[in-house]
Amino acid sequence: MPDGPLIVQSDKTLLLEVDHPRAAEARRAIAPFAELERAPEHVHTYRLTPLGLWNARAAGHDAEQVVAALMDFSRYPVPHALLVDVAETMARYGRLQLVQDPAHGLVLHALDRAVLAEVLKSRRTAGLVGERIGGPGGDSVVVHPSERGHLKQVLVKLGWPAEDLAGYVDGEKHAIALSSETVSTTPDGGEVRKPWSMRPYQEQAVEGFWHGGSGVVVLPCGAGKTIVGAGAMARSGTTTLILVTNTVSARQWRDELLRRTDLSEDEIGEYSGSRKEIRPVTIATYQVLTTRRKGVYTHLELLDARDWGLVLYDEVHLLPAPIFRMTADLQARRRLGLTATLVREDGREDEVFSLIGPKRFDAPWKDIEAQGYIAPADCVEVRLTLTEGDRMTYATAEPEDKYRLAASATGKNRVVERLVAQHPDDQVLVIGQYIDQLEELSAHLDAPLITGATTVRERQRLFDAFRSGEINHLVVSKVANFSIDLPEASVAIQVSGSFGSRQEEAQRLGRIMRPKADGRTAHFYAVVARDTVDQDFAAHRQRFLAEQGYAYRIVDAEDLEPA
């Protein structure tokens, strides 16, 4: 009997023995189709879901590959019923296709008429489709173009995800070429030119997206998602609308496009709270697009301001719910979502799948690290025992107050000081959730603080000073979770977070994973209050990174060297 690291159970759970010699190999094999649910020290629990299997199918994996992976790594015989279910679930994807018909325009075409009959009988599809082509027994039904996105959403929920082969409008042509070299400025004002080209996995990501037409590219933080976006823009050669999380991110996108492409400053516009520029390439913030006055989204005209050929969604896992409705109206445009993790804390992964597109490319973090494109990372959970007074306050607190009390425990200040002292020559980020806690840490460390109230100009000044080494320590709120490029940061100390948010944990580790010039290892510390909900949430937060192969060492705060 094979001694594999995996136990495959009939309830669709997969148990992975972490210490097994083939565990890393098995993790890579199941990553395209299985989702990690729990990651304690010795046995990790994954689950097979329809959405995970459909994403794998859309990315080019077939049922034979999935079945082979399960059988190859399983310690015991795999339940036959589960293998049948995997094959049948994956076969559901693409039995319905959205295509362009010369006579009727957009139609929903069935490779299996019984499936079409089933979905048309559902009340959910009423009003989304028109006449049956070829009479009651026909294998196609007319779809109004404006309902393309809504119909795809409904079909996913009905368990019959449609393959969208209907094509896209070309959009307004606008030539964009990638540069062959980058230009940087020396301290004395001179210029240094270096040859540059896309990395192999970035080229594969662009090809995967372009071949599929629309969809999501999943790459680790620091692996160059912006360059994948630039490559897609060059491949499209059209006007492009880029949606980003905030104004700082918008300006980083602009700077990177100026470095990596032949676009000029006049060709790139910013559409944010402070500027309303519409150019061939326009970078807009999610916030401005979701701004409402008297219940009306006042900036929706941006979606029709140009004949966009490509729409890019940066940090697609953070896409606000109202943008989903707007995306339903953009189905005729090519759409590319960029993210480090498809995990959404609101559980709306199925809407990303149906409205942006399925996963087209996914590179495991450890694979990119092994190639030297992101820094190796050492993850440590530092557990702090609360003082007797803090324990009593916590024990008698209302449930809704417990996390804040545990996450903001005053003893964490001393732990952070000790950790900072262990890294005297490193650029250190201290990241947290609660402003009063961060203000206290800022004063303790004599380090600048960046929060949501910090102006964009001041944020950029402090980030620039940190990049240049003028300041070595920076205390930041969750405004620095996303799309902030701080390549020299090599240590991150997390004191509090958004409860059990897996994607936030991934983003925060990502802040320090840009490759270091000297090949140094990055260090990520999570300071956690022992025997509290802070510890429970920390275990949940670490699940995604455990799925990527990162193990957290646990150390006691009392064992740290004094500052």
Instruction: Give 470-485 pLDDT, tens digit per residue.
Output: 999 999 887 765 556 6
DSSP 467-483: HHTS-SEEEE-GGGSSS
Determine the length of the chain.
563
Q: Judge contact between 305 and 240, C-beta under 8 A.
A: no
Bridge partners for 525 per DSSP: 380, 493
State the Cα–Cα distance between residues 5 and 26, nearest whole angstrom: 7
Cα distances (Å, whole numbers) of residue 407 to 142, 439, 494, 505, 536: 55, 14, 10, 15, 11
Q: Is the pTM of this model over 0.75?
A: yes
The pLDDT of residue 560 is 85
| Three-point CA angle 128, 93, 139, nearest 5° | 55
The pLDDT of residue 1 is 44
Q: How many CB atoms lie within 10 A of CB 495?
A: 26
Q: In the chain, which stretches have pLDDT less than 70?
A: 1-2, 39-41, 184-190, 343-346, 480-487, 499-503, 544, 547-549, 563
Q: Judge contact between 16 and 5, C-beta under 8 A.
A: yes
Nearest-Å Rg of the Cα atoms of the chain is 25
Q: Judge contact between 32 and 56, C-beta under 8 A.
A: yes
Cα distances (Å, whole numbers) of residue 357 to 215, 336, 525: 4, 8, 35
The pLDDT of residue 457 is 87
| Three-point CA angle 35, 27, 495, nearest 5° | 65
